[in-house]
Structure 1
């Protein structure tokens, strides 16, 4: 955070946003790389000799799996570093210098479905096999969900959540608090996305279990949600470390508001579950405004999608269909699909393999509007 404040004082924040699509934030790797270089013993000296490799986890994995012969990344991961010009599609020297980094020391950026080298996994395979796909976590899920057309959108529910919309081959800079990134580079073409990252979604359930000790397992939340008072006014804003998209307020603190005499454990747990859906609705609505696209459905994945109460509530608050696939690990599936397609093992028919459960909105308009407005008021109360 201190490094970001230092960069912001140079007046470069807006330039960085316009080139990278990302609001200046310690969330992204640029400031983390700068911190490591400044604080890890010997790093500065190695960097001066151009003997230091900088990268995200994919770069490190590829480097290790190829015994140091391949120092590469793909467009999706490069676009998340806050060092990559997504319009010129290259590392930006000016931004790198602001963070004390040298662009020539960064990994080679390749198409997401190209060959990144070969590996035998330290002898696990009899002969080396190609590493034929590299994708960022959320980008992999977008691809695995089959969101290949402009306007298609998915949400991955994890510790935090990533909501991502395919916006096609022409980038759109957000004016509503989400970020613009590259989806992937495949078969020589670049696709762009809008993305919103939420810090705490599934982690709220972990907090209810481990810290508040209100539940013993995440599976209990669905039954408690159904036992809670049908129409109370309780809201939980999980700003444990500030709020991510679309608010980007790192000073905000969490709040439980609307407590009444009838507030019990069940109501508190339900507020924790419902805040996941509210936060995702905030981001989906922001993306719809930025892309000037009417969203028809939300494709979802991740562990919390097993909670049927949450999925129905998500559909109700969005007033859109929510589609839950019969597989959870869409990020891995997406990378596998990209690798197989890149090698010509199969074509787009692979995307029809997923079976989906559909949730359609059931909540009446008056209740939906009242509930969502109550959430917006709760969020306003924690913003500084």
Structure 2
């Protein structure tokens, strides 16, 4: 009998539930439920579970009967406190991008931040779980008891519990909590003490794809007998499986944010790495470490840009296509339009939630095409700055791109031309879901279309990009120096 798999990809914008049959996906998705209260955003986990339940039940009943494994991939950092005394969930689930715990970050001394980096390989930042936990314990005393013991469950851990009744997490997601000791691959009591979260424990850590439990409850008789549940890992890392990422290759994972990652044999805990906000973690294969950084300037910035100019997707594609042609025939090599895409703050090496965007070089003659070119030029320069700061000492020979940007020729060509590296576009629908499926199925790849963008040999294009990039770096350094 043919066996099927279910994958759940928890995204910031959308959640995708995919039924896999003989390598073929049947995808259903819904908006990831959120509760927005002024400047605060929570993920609504009750609504999330309800939507996942309804979505799974929409698949064919006979196909569901053959599902022998559920694998969950997810954004990191967000989670919920489970009261071990009352056996109840006890807090809201703060969205990973929510900045309310910045007050916790600001209260930690430089000495303690340095200690935490040496243990976890992460810079202390409001996005990470430990800061959210500390904020909840300090500011939500009306419903969190100071003498109770709590368990922190990341969002995928929560789903595992709902499916199986068991507690567990996975290494690449544990790496995003700000409490995983990279030297021992276990939880750090020292960090908990620094963060004042000593009454909070974390679940047992499992390898990606490893069985955490067996489906119980309402789904027990809907799925195959003894259907197992596992966690595939942090979404960007899981997506790299669909791109068959190897050492000496850089993953460019695009979506709401843009992530850069390579595989290494040891974490970089140097002073330079700490200063430039490099994040280290354990990869889904359990044998590599990840050198990783994420930039908030990607899909969310492009969406803002489209809304501002009243563009739909077809409009943007047409403008990008024309800009690509005009870039190649030198018509855009005199444009001065440049966009600093810090609309959600800046990424590494100057990682600041307070940094703001900038549009430079516009006048009454500026066209939409020039603005589009300036946007993707800025996104490319932002990428290049992070690459040069954090990855240039690794012998990388190509960039592999997954996610929506894999279909953006202008963006990919600009990266190839500026960084002088081949860029491979991995055209695979739902790369994270595919990566989660591959982890459960013991396969290394699916049939995918790969388009290669080679660096230009046109000296005019090279000189233009270098000149504009030099200008960009000067502006970037000014923002960094003045903390704006």
Alignment TM class, shorter chain as reference: 0.7 to 0.9
Kept in 1: contact 2:171–2:284 (CA 8 A) = yes
Indicate which of 152, 164, 173 corresponds to 2:261: 164
Q: Partners in 2 of 1:351 and 1:126 — Cα distance?
A: 25
Q: Partners in 2 of 1:247 and 1:331 — Cα distance?
A: 28
Runs of 5+ unmatched residues, structure 1:
none
Deviation at 1:366, TM superposition (A): 2.2
Indicate which of 306, 320, 323 corresponds to 1:222: 320
Query: Which residue of the partner structure matches residue 270 of structure 1?
Result: 373
Query: Which residue of the partner structure matches residue 128 of structure 2?
Result: 28
Query: Which residue of the partner structure matches residue 97 of structure 1?
Result: 193
Kept in 1: contact 2:320–2:369 (CA 8 A) = no
Equivalent position SS for 2:283: strand
Q: 1:316 to 1:214 in 2, by over 3 A?
A: farther
Q: 1:325 to 1:103 in 2, by over 3 A?
A: farther
Q: Partners in 2 of 1:133 and 1:58 — Cα distance?
A: 7
Deviation at 1:352, TM superposition (A): 6.2
Q: Partners in 2 of 1:139 and 1:352 — Cα distance?
A: 17
Query: Which residue of the partner structure matches residue 316 of structure 1?
Result: 417
Indicate which of 358, 361, 381 corresponds to 2:455: 361
How far does the alpha carbon of each residue in 1:287-332 deviate from its partner, in whole angstroms, 9 at most, with x for none?
Answer: 333xx32321100011122111111112112211111112042222
Kept in 2: contact 1:116–1:131 (CA 8 A) = yes
Q: How does 1:1-384 map to 2 (within 5 A)?
A: 1-8=102-109, 11-40=111-140, 42-45=142-145, 48-50=147-149, 52-66=150-164, 69-102=165-198, 105-119=201-215, 122-123=218-219, 124-147=222-245, 149-168=246-265, 170-173=266-269, 175-176=272-273, 177-184=276-283, 186=285, 189-210=286-307, 212-217=308-313, 218-223=316-321, 225-226=323-324, 230-231=332-333, 232-260=335-363, 262-289=365-392, 292-341=393-442, 346=443, 350-351=444-445, 353-362=447-456, 363-364=458-459, 365-383=462-480, 384=482
Deviation at 1:199, TM superposition (A): 0.8
Equivalent position SS for 2:261: strand
Query: Which residue of the partner structure matches residue 56 of structure 2?
Result: none
Runs of 5+ unmatched residues, structure 2:
1-101
Q: 1:121 to 1:336 in 2, by over 3 A?
A: farther
> How many pairs does the alignment contain?
365
Kept in 2: contact 1:254–1:382 (CA 8 A) = no
TM-score, normalised on structure 1?
A: 0.87
Give 1 or 2: higher helix fraction. Answer: 1
Q: 1:221 to 1:25 in 2, by over 3 A?
A: farther
Q: Partners in 2 of 1:90 and 1:221 — Cα distance?
A: 50
Deviation at 1:357, TM superposition (A): 0.8
Equivalent position SS for 2:169: strand
Q: Partners in 2 of 1:213 and 1:98 — Cα distance?
A: 47
Deviation at 1:3, TM superposition (A): 0.6
Q: 1:328 to 1:374 in 2, by over 3 A?
A: farther
Q: CA RMSD, aligned part only?
A: 2.3
